[in-house]
């Protein structure tokens, strides 16, 4: 498939001698307007790639922070149409920063996967991460996504052994997302040593960049993990920053956007030191 | 949607776990290797006669199988039509059909060398059955149960605690079965090496729907032999309640290729299908993907799963086992709703005329039998799966009927 924004961005980061910082926020959290403001502010704060969560009522792989974030977005009336509109409006001002939609299969399935991938591409989306659709079901969504010009990014996990890795990597493009722990998002901190071994193991099977996520919360962790990985993913810590900035009624305050961008700046500073020692 | 009629209704699922378009394996990558291991372990176990031998022995000596097939004479007179038989799985050890599944799966967990068991539960019947087999086999047991269900099923919560299980109340969502299943999956994805997830119904990722069905098919197999002995023929109709659908598929499956047998699955109609307060996923939902399988789900237009409602905690689930979705689409099984009020009436009728207090789940099936039997001839036969006893529901029903217990 032709080169995408994701390919270009990882190449640029490699050239600059640093891991890409991949930031996750939930679309529509805590409300559409604030979420759009956060999205627009992420690149300047140091986000190299943006994962935009498509909220789902039953986020089975998420820990409490992203569960709550999802619930806030749905309570505020977020829909798939609004999520795609957010991407469209973002693209009016930023044609460089890659956006990956991340979520669960059902909201895509009910919309019709073949229709959805075309809509997403047209809106300016670059890739998809769908947690609950394994490579065994590639014909349903992965192949149509690739045909529409979207990267399909798969998760590899500590349970994905060398025998299974080729199956997982077969139709993966853009980058590989290595899940650093067995568990849910935002839970235990990953062991940097073990992660380094796993990243090198995956690199033995693919030339794609490998980004590491689940449990990365600080600039120091980003710096450690970024020594071997091509990208570091942060999510739970950012949606927690949203939560902590809300008023007593759960509404956004003037601090909400900066709470997220401050957090991104800290982690970006750590990540930028990863390859320099 | 019409689906081509298959030569047999009993050959599914295919090697990827599909019943038509339904079923499959839609799970996070962390779980995929575990599910593939489980599938292999189950295939090996099925090929080993000692596995079925152990199940048969425990079914007989521990559970008390075969359960009786009972001719409900007074109820038949009361309804004035077809002869009504009950398959009395409420007489099993632990009080419901759930134990049939738990015995098979705990033996599989042992074969796989797993050292910790987790389960989800709605009404608590599956939780009690799981805690029971864990006590019997000396394995630690964690049961995820929605907070709402913990409140309305207190007797079962206490039973599980007595049996040594740890109960984790789940507050996410509406705090019912769906949320408990999400939380059990989160536990499993975290404790992959040690833990066996003992799913309680014929749903979830392949091979669970097939495995649970096979373990519950003892209900239908016994029924077929017992009715042959009592009446010398097949029944004219089968009726069972469907939540996730394990008791129903267990009764139905051995009869699917007997075209003279009409088959009815009864969904929780809650306060009626007009509004959102029901759990009739087959009658009022549409296909989607949740909890590892494609099946009919209650959901909004944007693919968000809705919280169902039922008077019965065991039917309070917005999905359904994938084989039922396929049986609906092929037309082999007819799925009908029964409301909370109809179930409550059936609960009281059976108690009064037969001296059997049923659980609220089979009370839904009975509500349909009450509609069906009077329309049938007196020489026709209905078999209903009386899949659980009502001890657990006595307090809740007492409240609804205005008794202060």
Q: What is the pLDDT of residues B211-235, one digit of tens each?
A: 999 999 999 999 999 999 999 999 9
Distance CA B375, CA B357 (A): 25
B182 vs A58, A108, A160: nearest CB:
A58
Q: Which of A61, A84, A167 to mutate to probe the B interface, most B CBs <10 Å?
A: A61
CB contact at 8 A, A52 and A35: no
Distance CA B340, CA B102 (A): 28
Distance CA B302, CA A79 (A): 7
**Residue B202 sits in the same domain as residue B271:** no
Mean pLDDT of chain B: 95
**Closest approach of chain A CAs to the CA of B169, in angstroms?**
15
* Catalytic site residue from A51, A92, A96, A119: A51
The confidence band for B378, taking pLDDT boundaries of 50, 70 and 90, is: very high
Distance CA A110, CA A108 (A): 6
CB contact at 8 A, B279 and B267: yes
List of domains in chain A: 5-272 (3.20.20.70)
**Residue B166 sits in the same domain as residue B103:** yes
Candidate from A24-38, B50-64, B165-179 with smallest mean pLDDT: B165-179
**Residue B339 sits in the same domain as residue B359:** yes
pLDDT digits (tens, 9 = 90+) for A5-37: 999 999 999 999 999 999 999 999 999 999 999
Provide the CB-side half-sphere exposure for B82 (13 A, CA): 21
3-class SS of residue B190: helix
What is the share, in percent, of chain A residues with pLDDT greater than 90?
A: 93
Q: What is the CA radius of gyration of chain B?
A: 19
Q: Which of B26, B172, B318 to mutate to probe the A interface, most A CBs <10 Å?
A: B26
**Residue B107 sits in the same domain as residue B160:** yes
Q: What is the mean pLDDT of residues B380-398?
A: 93
**Residue B121 sits in the same domain as residue B30:** yes
The confidence band for B4, taking pLDDT boundaries of 50, 70 and 90, is: low
Distance CA A263, CA A240 (A): 10
Secondary structure letter of residue B2 according to DSSP: -
**Residue B309 sits in the same domain as residue B387:** yes
3-class SS of residue B266: strand
* Active site (annotated) includes residue A62: yes
For residue A276, pLDDT over 90 is answered with: no
CB contact at 8 A, B123 and B313: yes
Residue B87 belongs to some domain of the structure: yes
**Closest approach of chain B CAs to the CA of A45, in angstroms?**
31
CA A86 → CA A8, A32, A38, A68, B91, distances in Å?
Answer: 22, 8, 11, 20, 57
pLDDT digits (tens, 9 = 90+) for B295-336: 999 999 999 999 888 888 888 889 999 999 999 999 999 999
**Residue B76 sits in the same domain as residue B115:** no
**Residue B283 sits in the same domain as residue B332:** yes
Last residue within a domain, chosen from B180, B207, B234: B207
Kind plus residue range of the DSSP H or E element containing A143 = helix A142-147
Residue B320 belongs to some domain of the structure: yes
Q: Identify the bridge partners of residue B383 per DSSP, sorted by sequence position.
A: B85, B238
CA-nearest residue of chain B to A156? B29
CB contact at 8 A, A214 and A180: yes
Residue B13 belongs to some domain of the structure: no
Distance CA A54, CA A101 (A): 7
Q: What is the mean pLDDT of residues A262-269?
A: 98
Provide the CB-side half-sphere exposure for B83 (13 A, CA): 14
**Residue B379 sits in the same domain as residue B397:** yes
pLDDT digits (tens, 9 = 90+) for A100-153: 999 999 999 999 999 999 999 999 999 999 999 999 999 999 999 999 999 999
Mean pLDDT of chain A: 96
Distance CA B220, CA B349 (A): 25
Distance CA A93, CA A47 (A): 15
Residue B1 belongs to some domain of the structure: no
Contact B190 A131 (CB under 8 A): no
CATH number of domain containing B75 = 3.40.50.1100
**Residue B40 sits in the same domain as residue B68:** no
CB < 8 Å to A60, chain B: 28, 182, 185-186, 189, 291
Last residue within a domain, chosen from B207, B230, B264: B207
**Residue B221 sits in the same domain as residue B360:** yes
Distance CA A181, CA A277 (A): 25
The confidence band for B3, taking pLDDT boundaries of 50, 70 and 90, is: low
Handedness of CA A249, A255, A257, A259 (dihedral sign): negative
For the question of whether the overall pTM of this predicted structure is more than 0.90, the answer is: yes
pLDDT recorded at residue B351: 97
Q: Identify the bridge partners of residue A100 per DSSP, sorted by sequence position.
A: A51, A127
What is the bridge-based pairing of β-strands A49-53 and A20-26? parallel
Residue B11 belongs to some domain of the structure: no
Residue B10 belongs to some domain of the structure: no
Last residue within a domain, chosen from B162, B178, B207: B207
Q: Domain range spanning residue B304? A: 63-95+208-401
The alpha helices in A46-97, defined as continuous H runs, are 64-75, 80-93
Tell which residue, B103, B129, B130, has the closest CA to residue B116: B130
pLDDT recorded at residue B309: 87
Residue B4 belongs to some domain of the structure: no
**Residue B177 sits in the same domain as residue B29:** yes
Taking the alpha carbons at both ends of chain A, their separation in whole angstroms is 35
**Domain tally, chain B:** 2
Tell which residue, B191, B164, B188, B169, has the closest CA to residue B180: B169
CB contact at 8 A, B121 and B180: yes
């Amino acid at each position: 498939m032709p080169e995408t924004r994701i390919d270009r961005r990882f190449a640029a980061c490699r050239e600059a001698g640093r891991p890409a910082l991949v930031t996750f926020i939930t679309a529509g959290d805590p409300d559409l307007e604030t979420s759009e403001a956060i999205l627009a502010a992420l690149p300047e704060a140091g986000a190299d790639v943006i994962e935009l969560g498509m909220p789902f009522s039953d986020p089975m792989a998420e820990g409490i922070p992203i569960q709550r974030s999802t619930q806030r977005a749905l309570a505020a009336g977020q829909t798939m149409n609004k999520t795609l509109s957010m991407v469209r409006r973002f693209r009016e001002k930023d044609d460089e920063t890659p956006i990956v939609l991340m979520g669960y299969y059902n909201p895509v399935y009910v919309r019709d996967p073949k229709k959805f991938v075309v809509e997403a591409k047209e809106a300016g989306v670059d890739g998809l991460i769908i947690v609950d659709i394994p490579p065994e079901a590639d014909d349903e969504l992965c192949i149509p996504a690739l045909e529409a010009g979207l990267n399909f990014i798969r998760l590899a996990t500590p349970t994905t052994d060398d025998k299974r890795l080729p199956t997982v990597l077969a139709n993966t493009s853009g980058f590989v997302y290595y899940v650093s722990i067995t568990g849910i998002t935002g839970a235990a901190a990953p062991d940097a040593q073990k992660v380094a071994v796993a990243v090198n193991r995956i690199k033995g099977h693919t030339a794609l960049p490998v980004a590491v996520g689940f449990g990365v919360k600080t600039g120091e962790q980003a710096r450690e993990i970024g020594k071997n990985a091509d990208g570091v993913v942060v999510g739970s810590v950012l949606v927690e920053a949203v939560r902590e900035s809300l008023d007593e009624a759960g509404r956004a305050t003037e601090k909400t956007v900066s709470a997220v961008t401050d957090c991104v700046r800290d982690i970006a500073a750590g990540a930028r030191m990863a390859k320099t020692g | 949607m019409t689906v081509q009629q298959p030569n047999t209704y009993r050959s599914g699922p295919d090697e990827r776990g599909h019943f038509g378009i339904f079923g499959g394996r839609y799970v996070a990558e962390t779980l995929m290797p575990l599910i593939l291991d489980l599938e292999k372990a189950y295939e090996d176990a099925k090929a080993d006669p000692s596995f079925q031998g152990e199940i048969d022995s425990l079914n007989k000596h521990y559970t008390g199988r075969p359960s009786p097939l009972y001719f409900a004479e007074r109820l038949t007179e009361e309804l004035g039509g077809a002869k009504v038989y009950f398959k009395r799985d409420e007489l099993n050890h632990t009080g419901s059909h759930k134990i049939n599944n738990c015995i098979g799966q705990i033996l599989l967990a042992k074969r796989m060398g797993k050292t910790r068991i987790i389960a989800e539960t709605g009404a608590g019947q599956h939780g009690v059955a799981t805690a029971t087999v864990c006590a019997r086999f000396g394995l630690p047991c964690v049961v995820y149960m929605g907070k709402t269900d913990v409140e309305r099923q207190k007797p079962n919560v206490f039973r599980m605690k007595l049996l040594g299980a740890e109960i984790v109340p789940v507050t996410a969502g509406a705090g019912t079965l769906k949320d408990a299943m999400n939380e059990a999956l989160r536990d499993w994805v975290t404790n992959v090496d040690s833990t066996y997830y003992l799913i309680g119904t014929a749903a979830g990722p392949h091979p669970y729907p097939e495995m649970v069905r096979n373990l519950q098919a003892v209900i239908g197999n016994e029924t077929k032999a017992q009715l042959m002995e009592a009446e010398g023929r097949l029944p004219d109709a089968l009726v069972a309640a469907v939540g996730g659908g394990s008791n129903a598929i267990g009764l139905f499956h051995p009869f699917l290729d007997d075209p003279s047998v009409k088959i009815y699955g009864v969904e929780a109609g809650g306060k009626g299908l007009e509004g959102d307060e029901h759990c009739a996923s087959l009658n009022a939902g549409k296909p989607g993907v949740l909890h590892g399988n494609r099946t009919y789900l209650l959901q909004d237009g944007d693919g968000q799963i809705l919280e169902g409602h039922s008077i019965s905690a065991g039917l309070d689930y917005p999905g359904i086992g994938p084989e039922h979705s396929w049986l609906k689409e092929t037309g082999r099984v007819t799925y009908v709703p029964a409301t909370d009020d109809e179930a409550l009436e059936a609960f009281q009728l059976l108690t009064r005329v037969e001296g059997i207090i049923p659980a609220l789940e089979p009370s839904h099936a009975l509500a349909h039998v009450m509609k069906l039997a009077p329309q049938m001839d007196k020489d026709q036969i209905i078999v209903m799966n009386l899949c659980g006893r009502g001890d657990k529901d006595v307090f809740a029903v007492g409240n609804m009927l205005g008794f202060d217990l």
